[in-house]
Structure 1
Amino acid sequence: MPAQPLDAEKQQNEALDTVPKKLPRGVVLGPDGKPCRSCTSFASWAAMTKRQPSNISSTTPPASAAASLSPPPNCPPDVDELGRSSWNLLHTITANYPVSPSPQQQHDARSFISSFSRLYPCWVCAEDFQQWMKDERNAPRVSSRQEFGRWMCEAHNEVNVKLGKESFNCDRWEERWRTGWKDGSCD
């Protein structure tokens, strides 16, 4: 193995020195070996940096505080905010997808989902989504708005199950993301 330039070796050692030897639960390391902000919740990030966020008092027990933690305004998104924002975008795209898309629109939708899965900032989430889509049963279904919306709901539910969250009734995807609830609460 060729010797690394002195500067590169120094940078690598400094980077390793900034990573705690024992990471708090929920902190995910990136491929570079450093904590991945896009893959880690704000609560875990704050625990890792051993800073107490300003929205938590010093008397708040860490276990109960973690559920209410949110990053201060204007901070890079954590994994939770990134996920919510991404699902909002993806579901809104499917809700506005053509009822009968052209072959080009179908190609574009498949290409977008494929690119999205490779560019997603949380590498763990990205690889998991790519792996899930490799199964031909999970390939993006884009021949109609109804099919694409249901597929996106199923993909979202797959993630929810892995995270221990409730699944959404995919029969109601259009009401949730396109037309609004029948009770008029979105009007």
Structure 2
Amino acid sequence: MARSRHLALTILLALAVFLSLSYMFSSPPAPRDEQALGLDLGRTPPPPDTPPPSPPPPPSSSEQDKETSGGFVMDLDSIPPAMFEGDSIAPKLENATLKAELGRATWKFMHTMMARFPEKPSDDDRRTLDTFIHLFGRLYPCGDCARHFRALLAEYPPQTSSRNTAAGWLCFVHNLVNERLEKPVFDCNNLGDFYDCGCGEEGSPEKSEHAAGAAAKAEELDAELHRGKE
């Protein structure tokens, strides 16, 4: 009887040890155990630490201009020469009254533009003005007038080295037109600030007085340049 109990206890103990060993070997090892044993159970190890990407370089001035202008930047040097050498785009303007009004307004605009040109222009400023004048010679709304103007440009190219030089060149060309139209010429030495638009600092009494005086002189010069036959 005692032997039977001892045998049964031994069997139960052996069964318990067997079940314990089976459970231990059937359970997956913990992550820490995997690393310790060097096991790879199909898991992709995380990539090693990498430094953050360097920030992009700041945009150049031309790229900034492109962003502020909606993605378009004009390269004046890339304009084909044929664009300056074509004929007038507009047809002949037959109405003499409209032609005279257009001429007065255009000369006032041109003289005011020269008066606002930088005293020490950059190379880009000079290219811009020169390009504008030559394209203006094709786009002017009076076709025959534009043709005469282009002939003057071919003989007397625009001078853009300074504000005074540009203003003096335009006054000289204007007087050539006046001579062809049998109008009186104007002394270009008296241009001064006659065509100053008064775009000075706001709130300054001296600037306001100067602007008022410049406006009066502009009217006087405008009448002087266009006096006589229309």
Q: TM-score, normalised by structure 1?
A: 0.56
Cα distance in 1, alignment partners of residues 153 and 179 from structure 2: 16
Larger Rg: 2
Deviation track 1:20-50 (CA, whole Å, cap 9, x = no partner) reads xxxxxxxxxx987xxx4x34313xxxxxxxx
Cα distance in 1, alignment partners of residues 162 and 150 from structure 2: 22
Structure 1 residue ranges, 4+ long, deviating more than 2 angstroms after superposition: 178-181, 183-187
Cα distance in 2, alignment partners of residues 170 and 118 from structure 1: 26
- Report the 3-state secondary structure (helix = DSSP H, G, I; strand = E; otherwise coil) of the residue aligned with 1:174: coil
Structure-2 residue corresponding to 1:149: 167
Structure-2 residue corresponding to 1:41: 96
Change (3 A) 1:155 1:184: closer
Letter in 2 for 1:167: V
Between the two proteins, what is the percent identity of the paired residues? 31
Structure-2 residue corresponding to 1:19: none
Cα distance in 2, alignment partners of residues 126 and 160 from structure 1: 15
Cα distance in 2, alignment partners of residues 142 and 41 from structure 1: 32
Deviation track 1:70-126 (CA, whole Å, cap 9, x = no partner) reads xxxxxxxx1000000000110000000000000000000000000111101111110
Letter in 2 for 1:94: M
**C-alpha root-mean-square deviation of aligned residues, in Å?**
2.6
Change (3 A) 1:119 1:31: closer
Asked if residue 126 in structure 1 is aligned to residue 146 in structure 2, the reply is yes
Structure-1 residue corresponding to 2:118: 98
Cα distance in 2, alignment partners of residues 127 and 185 from structure 1: 31
Structure-2 residue corresponding to 1:110: 130
Letter in 1 for 2:141: P
Q: TM-score, normalised by structure 2?
A: 0.46
**Residue pair 2:90, 2:140 contacting (<8 A) in 1 also:** no
Structure-2 residue corresponding to 1:139: 157
Structure-2 residue corresponding to 1:186: 216
Change (3 A) 1:31 1:103: closer
Q: Gaps spanning 5+ residues in structure 1: where?
A: 1-29, 43-77
Figure out how many residues of one structure are paired with residues of the other and give that number.
116
